[in-house]
Amino acid sequence: MFDLPALLGADDPFAGLPIGIQSYSLRGFGLHDAIRHIQAMGLHHVEFYQKHVPQDIAGENLKALNQLLTTADINMVAHGVSGFNSNHDKNKSIFDFAKRVGVKCITANPTADAFESLDKLVAQYNIRIAIHNHGPGAIYDSIDSVADAIKDHHPLIGSCIDTGHFIRSKQDPVKAVYQLEGRVYALHIKDEAKQEKQSHNVIIGKGHLDVVGMFTALKKTRFPADGSISLEYEANPENPIAEIKQCIEVAKTAIAKVHKS
């Protein structure tokens, strides 16, 4: 679990939180360049998306990926966002992929009829499903919609809080951490210029995201150290590096403030 004071003393600017990046932020780059940029940013965790790591990866391609990540000292902690429905065999194939690449969390957008299958699969594979909220009008566009979806289901079925999408839905992502306490397994941390469906990403803390409040909530609810916290910057896909680096520095500063409080 998240132990801020102890881990901050180990010269970790993220205080033990598994801060990384959603590789969708780097969708303008191929896999090798994406890994190179992640390494240069000083990040050691990544949630890959389908373009960078397809779900059919195996054999020599998987071996090559693992060698790249080991060399760069990067840990693939999650993958997504994946769709799930009532097709158990299709759902199982995604879990087989997650087991093959060694991730413990799949960020997901399941349909309502997927949960009977998912209850069985998370128990069988011991891999978490983290429901990813999307923007206004999506299946999961509110805190309550996520809470209702996971209620009465296996405890390995939880939430991936996308802070930007909650902001666009006029929902408070900090409140989401508290309301979904114990079932928050992943986050996509981004900020939005507007609390409206049509918006765009800004540097975290420059829009509507309470960054210190977010990390305070993660500390108080003891976010799991083996979870996934991915910075995600969707703007400027051709060259987002400078903006992502600014987001990283804002996160470091906020975590330090939480430690001192």
pLDDT tens-digit series, residues 174-186: 999 999 999 999 9
- Structural domain count, the chain: 1
Distant-in-sequence contacts of 202-206, Cβ < 8 A, 24+ apart: 202/235, 203/243, 203/246, 203/247, 203/250, 204/231, 204/247, 204/250, 204/251, 205/250, 205/254
**Residue 31 class from Cβ within 10 Å (0-12 exposed, 13-18 middle, 19+ buried)?**
middle
Distance CA 8, CA 6 (A): 6
How many Cβ atoms from other residues are within 10 Å of residue 88's Cβ? 15
Statement: residue 199 has pLDDT above 70? yes
Distance CA 15, CA 36 (A): 23
Asked whether the CA dihedral 26, 19, 45, 57 is positive or negative, the reply is negative
Distance CA 251, CA 14 (A): 8
Question: 51: domain range?
Answer: 4-260
Statement: residue 1 has pLDDT above 80? no
Nearest to 157 by CA among 177, 132, 194, 193: 132
Mean pLDDT of 160-176: 98
Statement: residue 261 has pLDDT above 80? no
Of the listed ranges 11-15, 78-82, 123-127, the one predicted with least confidence: 11-15
Nearest to 143 by CA among 114, 106, 169: 169
pLDDT for res 12 = 87
pLDDT for res 260 = 81
Name residues whose C-beta falls within 8 Å of residue 246's C-beta, 6 or more positions apart in sequence.
203
Distance CA 95, CA 115 (A): 14
Query: pLDDT for 219-259, tens place per residue?
Result: 999 999 999 999 999 999 999 999 999 999 999 999 999 98
Kindly state the greatest CA–CA separation across the chain.
49
Mean pLDDT of 123-128: 98
pLDDT for res 98 = 98
Distance CA 25, CA 230 (A): 10
DSSP type of residue 129: E
Nearest to 75 by CA among 139, 147, 18: 18
Query: pLDDT for 39-66, tens place per residue?
Result: 999 999 999 999 999 999 999 999 999 9
> For the chain, what is the mean pLDDT?
95
Tell me, what CATH number does 16's domain have?
A: 3.20.20.150
